[in-house]
A and B are shown apart, each in its own frame.
Chain A
């Protein structure tokens, strides 16, 4: 594990390595240690780190800093106030408080360190092993951990003090054992998740040993949460230790903050100020640890936030901003009766204040009883166009220009309530991933009837009857039984039929389907396409079909619009566009289709091949 690949800068200095090697030019994008920098940029994080550092330094340097021996007492100076040789005064035995505070910090923090060290040594490796390998060790370890977690910590500590004697280190060792399960569980859970990642499989296939895979791929993921847990457990250890000492069952002789508190409490009438110093030290340390843990978590989460946004952003019902310039769109007679889009632009805010346009001046028409395909590759803006029509652009996105009319009514700038009414009634939506759009906790029946009762105000029985009719409409056999099933009990194709049934529940006139068959097998896809075709024929439904698959377009669509980088580059009847495309991009797209590509010729032995070549 010693020779980690020096990525970027460190490699440039190696003798014999050409200077342009190792990508000096491209160094900046590597952001290791970024979490530390973010932590220090957070004022609370920087402050708590500084306070902790100061406390630790004071404790470590106690023998040098303390004005005298913490045990040296002079009864004549008992309860002396601050000043002179004793900056913080003396306690009931005339011992110097500052010296005791510094040495006490040494014992208190040292004790916490012992507990932490033991917890880490026991918890992390066993968690790594159990999570990565699973099996019998995992089962046994879990059993032990459950047992340890079931023990009341305070009682165990008291009992072990009675057996092991008044020694802080022994007590802290026991505490470390008691705290180890929290690390074990944390690490095991994370590792079990990472183990199934494809990049771990890839590393296995690359021939890396398990130790190496853990070091390279697993530790990096575990690191952050463990650091946060360390801060929390340290706080708990210090608190517990102080608690024990305060009750007078710690180590009798050595100065600790808890023992100082105990002693101060006994003299609280005579010298209340004695409480202040150890209390302050304990409070400061614990507050700093908790704040540091919080700042660390924020720092690490911030890092996650920098990762690329999920490919399919969460759909939030972001209302469109009314400040829209509605373009003058020529003769309204040109526009389709059902859905008509003119000059639509959609933009997302950029960090620098500007806007990134993802849809730029799109014109689109869907007439009643017509299926229109909107084709493009990822990032072309086809889904954004559909979302804009539905009024469900993800957070931040807004329509910045153009006009959308549904049955002649302008919907851009419409208040959210009216928009919702439109979505429930005239316009319906079929999403791409059927499974993730059904709630696994409810039956199909309850998911279908709920909106019927809510939107149409049907009674429970009427809604159930209507739902069965809908399932029959989408050709689901034995609909009464399917009503009682949960989403995980049905196939993907069936789930998509259920979603189409849901979309049909309010008798819409326009159906917007976003890649409705992309997640399905081809035979199921053919069935769903047949279903959509039948619905369109029987009910005169207009369909806007968003897809990347030109085969699906050829199968289903009357007309097609091809989108590239936010614009419609070509539109026309499906037959014309697929047969004689006019735009260069459409031609590229059709050229990439492999339908007409010749099958690969049969294999020939290498020798014969080189002879013919």
Chain B
């Protein structure tokens, strides 16, 4: 399914059109593996677009392509009216002010040998903030993600997964970006921690008006977090729509299968879903 420009919002902050990304195949002569096959999507300022898919669907690659971490074969990525798909290193560095990321794994996304303060100050130094101002900003950032101020002098290994993910969120917020790519930010976290991190992300969006591209495999998380949801399957967006619509009355068979396969914590309801899944699979 493609998004025609007629139904696309005119005021999009991020606009992706017919994006194609491929990686070299294994072996010298092997054909390239197409990971994204003409993806279109839009995100408006302050909006959360949930991107749902299974492993290998290309959802993470899409986020990385927007960040300039994956090579774009063809198609366009427009951010705030400017083409960024072929932006050079220098332009990318400037763009980092507006475009940030929170990765899935809070254990490897923080350098184990840098203190939390050093990690948080990193983006500030990259943009010429003085050491003194950086220190003050680090304090503010820790406060914003509800971590104690003395966390700045400590190393990542002294923190739990949920706390580390808060640090990663604080780092993403350091430059007051307009769009944050959240790549499975809560998948590695426990159930109760997950909820508090999601609430934090919502709270920050309320306060700052930042937009999120929220990449995940979990439909219940995406439903809770997103204004709109896009479902990606084998490198193509198969369905987009309001979170409520897509997660209750999906139009595409794949979305329906995904929805019915996710177990819910209610025995009777889960039994009903299982029957429905079997019925729709047997069709």
Is A578 part of the binding interface, using a Cβ–Cβ cutoff of 8 Å?
yes
Contact of A551 among B113, B158, B192, B262 (CB under 8 A): B262
Tally of contact residues, B, Cβ under 8 A: 96
Residue contact A208 to B243, C-beta cutoff 8 Å: no
Q: 1/0 per residue A547-566: CB within 8 Å of B?
A: 01111111100000000000
Among the 9-residue stretches B14-22, B30-38, B71-79, B116-124, the one with 4 or more Cβ atoms under 8 Å from chain A is B116-124
Residues of A within 8 A of B151 (CB): 26
Interface of B is mostly: helix
Residue of A nearest to B158 (CB): A29
Please give, as numbers and ranges, the residues of chain A lying within 8 Å of B193 by CB-CB distance: 377
Q: Is A594's beta carbon under 8 Å from chain B?
A: yes
A418 within 8 A of B: no
User: Once the chains are docked, how many angstroms separate the CA of A389 from the CA of B261?
Assistant: 31
CB pair A555 B171 closer than 8 Å = no
- The answer to whether B153 and A578 have CB atoms under 8 Å apart is no
Q: Are A5 and B134 in contact (CB under 8 A)?
A: yes
Verify if A307 is at the interface (C-beta below 8 Å from B): yes
Q: Are A7 and B115 in contact (CB under 8 A)?
A: yes
Say yes or no: B114 contacts A216, CB within 8 Å: yes
* In the complex with contacts A29-B155, A207-B93, A597-B223, A522-B48 CB distance below 8 A: no
Contact of B86 with A by CB under 8 A:
no
B150 within 8 A of A: yes
Q: In the complex, are the beta carbons of B220 and A555 less than 8 A apart?
A: no
The answer to whether A209 touches B155, judged by C-beta atoms less than 8 angstroms apart, is no
Within A2-26, which residues are at the interface with B (CB < 8 Å)?
3, 5-8, 11, 14, 16-17, 21-23, 25-26
B45 touches A606 (CB 8 A): yes
Residues in B neighbouring A599, C-beta threshold 8 A: 223-224, 242-244, 247-248
Cβ B262 vs Cβ A522 within 8 A: yes
Contacts of B105 in A (CB 8 A): 198
The reply to whether the CB of A538 lies closer than 8 angstroms to some CB of chain B is: no
List which B85-127 residues lie within 8 A (CB) of chain A: 89, 92-97, 99-101, 103, 105, 107-115, 117-119, 121-123, 125-127
A27 within 8 A of partner (CB):
yes
A481 within 8 A of B: no
**Could you list 27 examples of A-B contacts with CB < 8 Å?**
A5-B117, A7-B117, A7-B152, A7-B153, A8-B115, A26-B150, A29-B154, A198-B105, A205-B101, A207-B93, A207-B127, A208-B123, A216-B114, A216-B122, A221-B113, A307-B157, A378-B161, A522-B261, A525-B261, A553-B265, A554-B267, A575-B268, A592-B192, A599-B243, A599-B248, A600-B225, A606-B209
19 further A-B contacts with Cβ under 8 Å, apart from A203-B122, A526-B263, A602-B243, are A5-B121, A5-B131, A378-B161, A492-B55, A521-B217, A522-B263, A523-B257, A523-B261, A526-B261, A548-B190, A549-B263, A551-B270, A588-B192, A594-B195, A599-B224, A599-B244, A599-B247, A602-B228, A602-B242
Q: Give residues in B with beta carbon < 8 Å to A.
A: 11, 44-48, 54-55, 67-69, 89, 92-97, 99-101, 103, 105, 107-115, 117-119, 121-123, 125-127, 131-132, 134-136, 139, 149-155, 157-158, 161, 168, 171, 174-175, 190-195, 209, 217, 220-221, 223-228, 242-244, 247-248, 257-258, 261-270, 274, 277
Residues of A within 8 A of B (CB): 3, 5-8, 11, 14, 16-17, 21-23, 25-27, 29-30, 197-199, 201-210, 212, 216-217, 220-221, 307-308, 311, 377-378, 492, 521-523, 525-526, 529, 548-555, 574-575, 578-579, 588-595, 597-603, 605-606
